[in-house]
Every structure is written in C-alpha cells, then in structure tokens.
Amino acid sequence: MKTSMYFGPFGGQYVPETLIPALDELEEAFLASATDSSFGEELLTLLRDYDGRPTPLYFASRMTKALGGAKIYLKREDLNHTGAHKINNALGQVLLAKRMGKKRIIAETGAGQHGVATATAAALFGLECVVYMGEEDIRRQAPNVDRMDLLGAKVISVTSGTGTLKDAVNEAIRDWVTNVEDSFYVIGSVMGPHPYPLMVREFQKVIGIEARAQILEKEGRLPDQVIACVGGGSNAMGIFHAFVKSAWRRGGWGWRRESTPPPSPEDGRGCSTAPTPTCSMMTTDRFSPPIPSPQGSTIRGSARSTATSTTQAGPLMSPSPTTKLLKPSGAPAASRGSSPPLRAPTPSPTSTAPLPPCRRTASCW
C-alpha cells in the first residue's frame, strides 16, 4: 500500500485475501489517475457537459425566514444528472474502470440512487453493469429499479441476511471475489476497504470546492456551519473536505451528530448512523459507530427510508480521538434556530467516552 489506509484508528482492509490483488491494482490505478492530467480533464469535462456541474448554491430565503436564525444556503446536488451527488463518484470510478480495461461493473444500492448513477455511467462507457439491491429495497424503490433496467443494468435481488443495503454490499463483494479479474466494484459511499473511502471522497470533494467558492462569492465569508446528511458519508465528506482546513485556521472544528431514532439494542433495531462511541467494524473496513450488538454481528438499521440504512458510517465519518465532538442539538429539526456554532464545542458525555478496543497498534488498525 502506498498511501495510508487509516483515518485515525479507522479504515483498513477487512476482506478476503482474494481481493487483495484487486485492491492493490485499484490503489495503483487511482493514485496514477490523481496525477494524470488527461484523466482529470476527461472527468472534469464529463462533470460539466454530461452531469451539469457546477451545481448552484441557492439562498433559501423562505426557509431562512421561517427558521429565523442563520442564513441558509442549499448546495443543489439534487440538480445533478440522475438526481443526486452519487453520479460524481460513479463517473469517476467508471472512468477509472474503463482505463483499467475492466469489462464489467458491479455496484450495490440501497435507495437506488447509487445504482441509477452507476448504471448511467456504465451505459455511457458501454460497460456491462450488475447492481445488487436488497429485496425489501427493490419493493420500496420500484421506480429506480425500472430506471436501472432501462439503462441496461441487471438488478439482482438480494435475499440473504436482512435483504437490505448491507447484504447488497456483501453480495456485491462475493460477486467481486468470484469475478475479480474482469470486474470493477463501484462502491457508492466513503466506505469499504481502502482505497475506497479515500477515492470516493476525492471524487466527491468537488461539492465542497464549488460550495466554498460560491459562498465566498455570495457572502464574502465562510459559513458558520456546514450541514449534511450521512448514510455512509459521501455527500458529507464531499462538502466538508474543502471547509476543514479553513475551520482549523479559525480555531478548530468538530462534528456534531444529529441522529434519527437512537439505537435500541433491546428490540434489535438501531439507527444506522447513531452516535455510539464503541469501536467496531463492518467486514470491509474498521469503522465506527456500529449498530450495537454484543456479539459483533450487525443488526438492521431502523431508518425508515432506504437511503440512510447503511449499517455504519464510513471511517472518515468516525470520531477519531483527535476529532472534536459537538453536542447534538437534541432539538427537532424545524425549531433548531440557535444551534451552537461550530467552533464552540460542548462535548457530550457519550461522544467523548474513550473508544475502548480501538488502539492504533504497530500494524496500524
């Protein structure tokens, strides 16, 4: 490995040995692409002419008025081709796959946004595309299934495990293990084994680069807070990345997690990205927070919509010992007028608890 696989104590590669040569090959190709100006130009052209970037930064005047606090701007990632930020990453990865000479694209999808984006990118490059989707998600998201079908992708219903996103990831990885020589696995968020978290963030950071320039142009200053929803964390890392350095210069930065229903180990359901300071990992990288289960097995998320039902957020989204954790506001979203500013961290008792089993050792996990 030529780059660090870790974000604080999180990250790494927890996959079967069969995938190691593929991950090495991918890392090499990705790093080469990062310094290859022809790759950068081709991707930029696609993002502009095919996807429709830059997306606008829109001043939401009525929302600003209704909430009565901060001026609110929306970074309109919904205006990308296919309707979400997922295409930024899908175009980057499929372009890389094409340059690596891969013939077949594999993806997992939850709500179907990443599946649609990947099917679109694969169709654009004339590559075969197979998308794994939980059977329950297929039922809930029929229009996206139809779209993938129209784009020529084969959608495979996943019935193993809980029949949702995490199982779709597992099946996609099993497919990849079996077809590792000619297939490229396009992961849809900043998750999975190294180099995926790093690579997906690199392909998504365009969101923050644009947003930063746009807010400077409109307001002549940087925002007090940048807010994103987190499934695996790709749109969040995509927008946060460009702001993190400036936040440091302004006296530090931190995360504040606002979670949907709190994890409830008792009834076997937990919120996917809940602030549980226990260190654990899914089977492909080591990241926090997990849905609590004393045995280390994962249990399904409780999020009602599919998009946020990843089991855990990716390693970049995990609170490392050096990350400041800000207190969740605890207020319902609609009345959150005066949430604490980003640079005044009030650590919450749970989120500052030590991360017990997760030490950084010589072997670095």
Partner 1 sequence: MTSIAQAFAGKKALITYLAAGDPDLETTAFLLKLLDREGVDLLEVGIPFSDPLADGPVIQQAGQRALSGGATLKKILALLKTLAPEISAPRVLMGYMNSLIAYGLEAFADDSAAAGVSGVIVPDLPFHQSEELASLLKERDMDFILMVTPNTTDKRLKAIAEKASGFLYCVSTLGVTGDSANAGTPLKEYTDRVRSITSLPLALGFGVNSPEKARLAAEAADGVVVGSALISLLEPCGTNLECLEKKAVPFLRSLQPSLQPGSGLVK
Ligand X SMILES: Cc1ncc(COP(=O)(O)O)c(C=O)c1O
Residues that bind partner 1 (CB under 8 A): 1, 12-18, 20-21, 160-161, 166-167, 170, 173-174, 177-181, 279-284, 286, 293-299, 357, 361-365
12 binds, among ligand X, partner 1, none (CB under 5 to 8 A by kind): partner 1
**Closer to partner 1 by Cβ: residue 4 or 335:** 4
Q: How far apart are CA 117 and CA 105, in angstroms?
A: 12
Using the contact rule CB under 6 A, the part of the chain among 30-38, 99-107, 223-231, 293-301 near ligand X is: 223-231
Residue among 180, 164, 82 at smallest CA distance from 123: 82
Question: Residue 107's beta-bridge partner residues?
Answer: 131, 186
Give least dist CB 284 to partner 1, A.
7
Q: How far apart are CA 105 and CA 107, in angstroms?
A: 7
Residues 102-131 that bind ligand X (CB under 6 A): 110-111, 113-114
Q: Mask: binding to ligand X, 141-180, rule CB under 6 A, as x and -?
A: ----------------------------------------
**Closer to ligand X by Cβ: residue 76 or 154:** 76
Element (H, E) at 75: strand 73-75
User: Which residues, other chains included, contact 63 with Cβ-Cβ below 8 Å and sequence gap of 6+?
Assistant: 72
46-81 burial, b if ≥16 CB within 10 A, otherwise e? bbeeebebbbebeeeeeeeeebeebbbbebebeebb
DSSP structure class, residue 255: E
312 binds, among ligand X, partner 1, none (CB under 5 to 8 A by kind): none
Q: How far apart are CA 94 and CA 76, in angstroms?
A: 23
**Closer to partner 1 by Cβ: residue 194 or 212:** 194
Our measurement of the distance from residue 188's CA atom to the centroid of its chain's CA atoms, rounded to an integer in Å, reads 7
**Closer to ligand X by Cβ: residue 180 or 198:** 198
**Closer to partner 1 by Cβ: residue 92 or 290:** 290
Applying CB under 6 A, which of residues 121, 226, 307, 358 lies at the interface with ligand X? 307
Give least dist CB 273 to ligand X, A.
8
Written in H, E and C, the secondary structure of 2-59 is CCCCEECCEECCCCCHHHHHHHHHHHHHHHHHHCCHHHHHHHHHHHHHHHCCCCCEEE
Q: How far apart are CA 290 and CA 293, in angstroms?
A: 8
126 binds, among partner 1, ligand X, none (CB under 5 to 8 A by kind): none
List the structure tokens of 314.
């990716």
Applying CB under 6 A, which of residues 234, 272, 298, 312 lies at the interface with ligand X? 234
CA dihedral (356, 252, 57, 273) in degrees, to 10, reads 10
Applying CB under 6 A, which of residues 15, 46, 57, 84 lies at the interface with ligand X? 84
Q: How far apart are CA 74 and CA 116, in angstroms?
A: 23
Using the contact rule CB under 6 A, the part of the chain among 145-153, 226-234, 291-299, 323-331 near ligand X is: 226-234
Give least dist CB 10 to ligand X, A.
16
The residue at minimum Cβ distance from ligand X is 231
Determine if 231 is a binding residue for ligand X (CB under 6 A).
yes
Contact residues: ligand X, CB under 6 A = 84, 86, 110-111, 113-114, 189, 229-236, 307
